[in-house]
């Protein structure tokens, strides 16, 4: 009986961890992902803990043939919008399903690891994530509300 209870609890935890994260379409255009999964976030605002990494994955359909992809992250905080440079600028290296070159119509997945430094202030923010190819085509774009917390 105890084994069954443990199995049910583990199954529930796994299912909860795989739930999609809500997002909005980019105001600047670009196709949204098919699905988005930010670890530990199934409601917004997502809570990002200082000193940890954001881990996320999203699935998207390639809109145009491309040899390479570059991530673009914009952070809007206190009325200011700034570029947030990710440590890995070659998004092809972070594809978890698929590989470059990519063909139009292909369904691929991108895995994100983004540090939240301890020095960041505790604040609410609005994030815009996109992947852009060498021809400046936005292959995927979405927005998420979040909060940096201790």
Q: What CATH number is given to the structural domain containing 129?
A: 2.60.40.770
Q: For residue 18, name the pLDDT band (cuts at 50, 70, 90).
A: low
Rg of the chain over all Cα atoms, to the nearest angstrom: 17
Nearest in space to 86 (alpha carbons), one of 61, 60, 121, 110: 110
- As for how many domains the chain has, the answer is 1
- What percent of the chain lies above the pLDDT cut of 70? 88
Please, are residues 69 and 63 in contact by the beta-carbon 8 Å criterion?
A: no
List beta partners, residue 14: none
pLDDT tens-place string over residues 96-148: 999 999 999 999 999 999 899 999 999 999 999 999 999 999 999 999 999 99
**Omega within 30 of 0 (cis) for the link into 82:** no
* Domain range enclosing 102: 2-149
């Amino acid at each position: 009986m105890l084994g069954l209870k443990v199995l049910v609890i583990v199954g529930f935890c796994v299912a909860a961890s795989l739930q999609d994260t809500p997002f909005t379409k980019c105001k600047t255009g670009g196709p949204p992902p098919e699905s988005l999964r930010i670890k530990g976030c199934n409601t917004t605002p997502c809570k990002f803990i200082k000193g940890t990494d954001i881990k996320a994955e999203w699935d998207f359909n390639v809109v145009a043939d491309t040899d390479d992809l570059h991530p673009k992250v914009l952070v809007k905080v206190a009325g200011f919008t700034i570029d947030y440079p990710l440590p890995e600028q070659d998004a092809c290296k972070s594809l978890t399903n698929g590989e470059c070159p990519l063909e139009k119509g292909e369904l691929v997945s991108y895995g994100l690891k983004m540090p939240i430094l301890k020095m960041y202030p505790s604040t609410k923010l609005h994030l815009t994530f996109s992947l852009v190819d060498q021809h400046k085509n936005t292959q995927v774009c979405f927005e998420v509300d979040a909060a940096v917390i201790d």
